[in-house]
Homo-oligomer: A and B are copies of this chain.
Amino acid sequence: MQLIFEKSVPGRGGVRVPLSDVPKASTFPDALRRKQPVLLPEVSELDLVRHYTNLSRRNFSVDTNFYPLGSCTMKYNTKVTENAGGLFAGCHPVLPLLPGGERLVQGPLSLIHGLEQQLAEITGMDEVTTQPLAGAHGEMTGIMVISAYHKARGDHKRKYVIVPDSSHGTNPASAAMAGYEIVTIPTAPYGDMDLEQFKNAMNDEVAAVMMTCPNTLGLFNPHIAEICDIAHQAGALTYYDGANLNAILGKVRPGDVGFDVIHVNLHKTFGTPHGGGGPGSGPVGVKKGLIPYLPTPRVQRTEDGSFVAEAHPEGIGRVSDFFGNFAIMARAYAYITLLGREGLIEVSEHAVLNANYIMARLKDEYELPFEQTCMHECVFSASRQLKEGVHAIDIAKYLIDRGFHPPTVYFPLNVKEAIMIEPTETESKQTMDLFIDVMLEAARLARENPEALHQAPVTTPVGRLDETRAARAQQVCCE
């Protein structure tokens, strides 16, 4: 397909600009005026609509395909929550910053407060900030809060953050952005962080340990309480990466277990679509002792029941321009309100049921590196298929031809030829059975006709793409 720029015809009109009802001003000074015109496409509204409508059709998506992309929680999000998010389009975020402005925005402020309370109850934390704009942003915010906590206590020696090697890459990257050095702990043969090595790494220079639980293998670490204890004894704080919270909703609350800080991904667990890579939202919850260090401003409920956005002077400052990705938060608030207590418990139960069902159905044909009950996702290895020269990527591409978005492949890094499947709770047995049939067929083809898998995909607008060439060419915009 051509680029929209390539469809441009000089002089073609687009959407009309509003008519002017004021006098023409004297010309803008030449010295400050741009010399090069802005070479945006010149297309008609029809060209534009046809271009992006057809472009959209070149995507797989949850609304069109089963999308069991492990670690990403590609669940179906209800359309009513989508509508709810759009209701606030006209609300200006600067209003509450004006004197007397807060009373005009009680609706959105009460929503922020309500969502923070919902998330605090769900995670077992004492307070929550919704300001971080994405999961990784939440991680960085959380670590900055931890850093501020230590510094406020005059504890300046802590310069390390402990991270298991099976963590999301964002964990060490976020801790590094907050100024810490990273200590990586390997995974033990039983699939969790090696406890002995962790104990050895812990000392009074460690600021925090960051745990993802269930971890990227989809396994629940039964030692998390012990890990928290060990950290706390050394004066370190504990950070819970809540990206996989959908596995434990109503079952485990990280705050109860001993974690001091958590971030959650509203776009994974709480009903907001992924938007092709964003926007997300990464609220952070903390235990009481850390509340002073949360970012500014804080939405508070006053004694008369009204809501205010207060400066938070001891906090780490501002991590995003206003109150976070509000329209995403509105979707999450709507989602939690819609599902309610029982609905949220059902989420974790069905997420886990579905993952275990797929694991059980595929384990005869695909290698299961850690054979135990999984949580919301299961991780296979294509090691058996590799013997026939078939890689995980070949199976992935074959799935595309059969109308399924592939699982995550080659992640987690500690599993060779990893195939990480997360069906999510919104998929039915019917759909999973169709997927399982194709996975089994791929395993059969790997034995009988591996070439068929190497050629895939053939039904897509493009075949396998040359990524090396892209990295070498660095062509990142059109000429």
A positions within 8 Å CB-CB of B: 7, 9, 12, 44-47, 49-50, 53-54, 57, 62-65, 76, 78-79, 426-428, 430-431
Q: State the Cβ distance, A9 to closest chain B Cβ, in Å.
A: 7
Bound form: Cα–Cα A157–B54 in Å: 58
**Are A53's CB and B63's CB within 8 A?**
yes
Q: How far is the CA of A63 from the CA of B428 in the complex (A)?
A: 32
- Pairwise interchain contact A79-B428, C-beta atoms closer than 8 A: no
B49 touches A76 (CB 8 A): yes
Q: Which 7 pairs, one residue from A and one from B, show the smallest C-beta to C-beta distance?
A: A46-B76, A53-B63, A46-B426, A49-B63, A53-B64, A54-B64, A45-B78
Complex CA–CA separation, A46 to B62 (angstroms): 9
Q: List 27 A-B contacts (CB under 8 A).
A: A7-B430, A9-B430, A12-B428, A44-B76, A44-B426, A44-B428, A45-B76, A45-B78, A45-B79, A46-B62, A46-B76, A46-B426, A46-B427, A46-B428, A47-B428, A47-B430, A47-B431, A49-B63, A49-B76, A49-B79, A50-B63, A50-B64, A50-B65, A53-B63, A53-B64, A54-B64, A57-B64
- CA–CA, A78 and B16, complex, Å: 12
Residue of B nearest to A54 (CB): B64
Per DSSP, chain A at the interface is loop
Q: For the complex, give the distance between the alpha carbons of A44 and B76 in Å.
A: 10
The minimal Cβ–Cβ distance linking A44 to chain B, given in whole angstroms, is 6
Q: Which chain B residue shows the least CB distance to A7?
A: B430
- Copy tally for this chain in the complex stands at 2
Residues of B within 8 A of A78 (CB): 45
Q: Which residues of B contact A50 (CB under 8 A)?
A: 63-65
The distance in angstroms between the C-alpha atoms of A76 and B79, with both chains bound, is 27
C-alpha spacing A76/B53, complex, angstroms: 13
Residues of B contacting A7 with CB < 8 Å? Answer: 430
What residues of chain B lie closer than 8 Å to A431, measured between beta carbons? 47
Residues of B within 8 A of A47 (CB): 428, 430-431
Chain B residue with the shortest CB-CB distance to A429: B9
Q: Which residues of the other chain, B, contact A64 by a CB distance below 8 angstroms?
A: 50, 53-54, 57
Residue on B nearest A424 in the bound complex, by CB: B46
Which B residues are in CB contact (< 8 Å) with A79? 45, 49
Cα distance A44–B47 when bound, in Å? 36
CB distance from A432 to the nearest CB of B (A): 12
A44 to B78, CA, bound (A): 11
- Report B-chain residues with C-beta under 8 Å of the C-beta of A9: 428, 430
Question: Which B residues are in CB contact (< 8 Å) with A54?
Answer: 64
Separation of A45 and B78 alpha carbons in the complex (Å): 7
Q: Give A65's nearest chain B residue, CB to CB.
A: B50
- Tell me the complex Cα distance, A428–B50, Å: 12
Nearest CB in chain B: distance from A242 CB, A: 24
- Which residues of B sit under 8 angstroms from A12, Cβ to Cβ? 428
Give A423 to B50 CA distance when docked, in angstroms. Answer: 15
A322 to B431, CA, bound (A): 45
* Min distance, Cβ A291 to any Cβ of chain B, angstroms: 36
